Chains A and B, each alone.
Chain A
Amino acid sequence: MVDLSVKIGALQLKNPVMTASGTFGYGREYEDFIDINELGGIVVKGTTREAKQGNDYPRMAETAMGMLNAVGLQNVGVDSFIKDIYPGLTKYQTNVLVNVSGSTIEDYIETASKINELEAIPGIELNISCPNVKEGGMAFGVSCQSAEAVTLAVRKVYKKHLMVKLSPNVTDIVEIAKAVEGSGADSVSLINTLLGMAIDSHSRRAVLSTVTGGLSGPAVKPIALRMVWQVAKGVKIPVIGMGGISSAEDAIEFLLAGANAVQIGTANFVDPAVTIKVIEGIKRYLNLHKIESVGELVGALSVEK
């Protein structure tokens, strides 16, 4: 019997497979396809202080092995989340994290303090990297000073696991990771989407209503893998890797690069049962290679010549 469990700070995960925010709704959308309780954790939709209508349609463009999105954090707001959605999440026997976003530091503090009171939520993922909102979002994640400021402020009011989701749209992601580590983050997750765009050559117009959007899917995997590898070498806190993971092999590559756990995002749209297949595949891999614990894979990449 192989051991799939991993620890991310104080979080105990039964396996290293989580779902990425914005791709898994509030879990209930996938209940017809999989048993949510079998996952290591889920990160629910980005939540803000006030309800957000998000960007205008069109919000999506298919690209080579991936997609662009410009949803713009459409969500019901933290108060409605607590009243209407949270009760339904308490039944899950897995780690349910809430992705928290905002336009000002005060927004982040207010939302995080309210979620701090929710017993069944063992952690938040601080979203300082959404490329699709005009103010804030990614702006906090692209400089060390602002990443530090928002992490410090939230750390003061948020007492449970604080994961910070990093933007790949920066010159040096390791510097940002170190800055949030120094400001009290318990872990970092990466990468959020890469800023991109799509043009319809026939109509000569941008495909997305916002012109630019966030690229995700298998197309971004090599970049994500490189960034996870760099960040894992640069920080001591756990790293959660994501970016184009669609199979057990993909997930294992991220673990080898130094991720303690992974999140699966866009692949959920292609196969709503992909997460369970990845967990089963990791199990098979461990058996095949006679490895007792998945933890042995973390950072086990060999780069010697």
Chain B
Amino acid sequence: MKHIHNFTISSNERQNEEFVVLTLNCEAGELPAMVPGQFAEVRVPNEPAAYLRRPLSIHDVDYQKRQIKLLVQEVGKGTRALCALPVGSIVNLVYPLGKGYSLPESKEVLLIGGGCGVAPLLFLGRYLKSHSIKPRFLIGTRTASSLVSIDAYRELGEVMITTEDGTAGTKGYVIHHPVMRTETPDFKQIYTCGPEPMMRILAKYANKYNISCQVSLENHMACGIGACLCCVTKTQDGHKCVCTEGPVFDSKYLQW
């Protein structure tokens, strides 16, 4: 069941020049059950330039504290306004939306995030761990200073890093990391979220090594609930809404 709830911002932690983690407390009471990969449509308060809601992945959930976290990347007027919200601000969410990641058939998993795509992987890692699956993370970013805090990821499992300029971890894209360059990959399931070119390469890689690959898309959306039909992607069954049929798809289902 989807809800419209007001949340109060209880912390606003700036990660670096681009990213902020917002912690939101649910004012309405208990949080509904959520699946990693699902998202919220967030109304941007006091910003007339942002008329539509902003779709943001659920970054982390604490059901006891009735808290959710959102990792927000400043890319435009709407996200800039969200990142500037002080503690105590009220934001309105329509959530939880879409279909999230599903549990793997094999316990050997690799979670690959590029840029803002690391957002759903923290919640996913926690979820996998609660199902006795040890997550491993591969995080790709442009440069060391645009990397988000990886402490929370590290608590859940091993974290590997690539940067395009080599300022942290392996130099290059995620596909250049040694874990991806062996002819006998030691994982049977890829979970990924990030720029589409990166995910397309990972989908090809997964096909080559007969690995299952779940990708999370972030097309431009208006409603987030399957009414406006704006956020479609091409699938084996024609145009499908990313907001309701996704955002997580099996890469083989997409016409990539």
Partners in one complex: yes
A69, B222: Cβ atoms under 8 Å? yes
Is B239 touching A32 in the complex (CB atoms < 8 A)? no
Which secondary structure characterizes the binding site on chain B?
loop
State whether A66 and B51 are in contact (beta carbons under 8 Å apart), knowing that A32-B2, A33-B4, A272-B4 are contacts in the complex: yes
Could you say which residues of chain B place their CB within 8 Å of the CB of A30?
A: 225, 227
Q: Find out whether the CB atom of B232 lies under 8 angstroms from the CB atom of A268.
A: no
CA distance A63 to B3 in the complex (A): 26
Residues on the B chain within 8 Å of A22, using CB: 228-229
Are A270 and B53 in touch, CB under 8 angstroms?
Answer: yes
**Closest chain B residue to A267 by CB distance?**
B51
CB under 8 Å from chain A, chain B span 210-256: 219-234, 238-239
Residue of A58, A65, A270 ringed by the most chain B CB atoms within 10 A: A270
| Interface: A80 (CB within 8 A) | no
Contacts of B229 on A, CB cut-off 8 Å? 22, 54, 59, 71, 74
Within 8 Å of chain B (Cβ to Cβ): is A24?
Answer: yes
Q: Is B43 an interface residue (CB 8 A)?
A: yes
Residues on A with C-beta less than 8 A from B226 are 25, 29
Chain A residues contacting B53 (CB-CB under 8 Å) are 269-270
Interface size of B by CB at 8 A reads 30
CB closest chain-A residue, reference B94: A272
Q: Are A23 and B52 in contact (CB under 8 A)?
A: no
Roughly how many angstroms separate A271 CA and B226 CA in the complex, as a whole number? 14
Q: Looking at the complex, which one of B49, B227, B238 makes contact with A53 (CB distance below 8 Å)? A: B238
Residues of A with C-beta under 8 A to B221: 60
Residues of B within 8 A of A271 (CB): 4, 43
Residues from chain A with Cβ under 8 Å of B51 in the complex: 62-67, 217-218, 270
Partner of B228, one of A23, A63, A218, A273: A23
Q: Helix, strand, loop or mixed for chain A's interface?
A: loop
B178 within 8 A of A: no
Q: Could you tell me if A67 and B1 are in contact, using CB atoms closer than 8 angstroms?
A: no
Cα A268 to Cα B230 in complex, Å, equals 14
**B108-131 toward A: CB 8 Å interface, digit per residue (1/0)?**
000000000000000000000000
Question: Does chain A have a CB within 8 A of B48?
Answer: yes
List residues of chain A with CB within 8 A of the CB of B4.
Answer: 33, 271-273
Other-chain contact of B52, A33, A59, A62 (Cβ < 8 Å): A62
* A54 x B232 contact (CB < 8 A): yes
Contact with A along B66-110 (1 / 0, CB 8 A): 000000000000000000000000000010000000000000000
> Are B227 and A69 in contact, with the CB atoms below 8 A?
no
Question: Which B residues lie at the A interface, using CB under 8 A?
Answer: 1-4, 43, 48-53, 94, 219-234, 238-239
Residue pairs across A and B with Cβ atoms less than 8 A apart, 17 shown, are A22-B228, A23-B227, A29-B227, A53-B238, A57-B231, A57-B233, A60-B221, A60-B230, A61-B220, A63-B51, A64-B49, A64-B51, A65-B51, A66-B51, A67-B52, A74-B232, A217-B51
Interface residues of A (CB under 8 A from B): 22-25, 29-30, 32-33, 53-54, 57-67, 69, 71, 74, 217-218, 266, 268-273
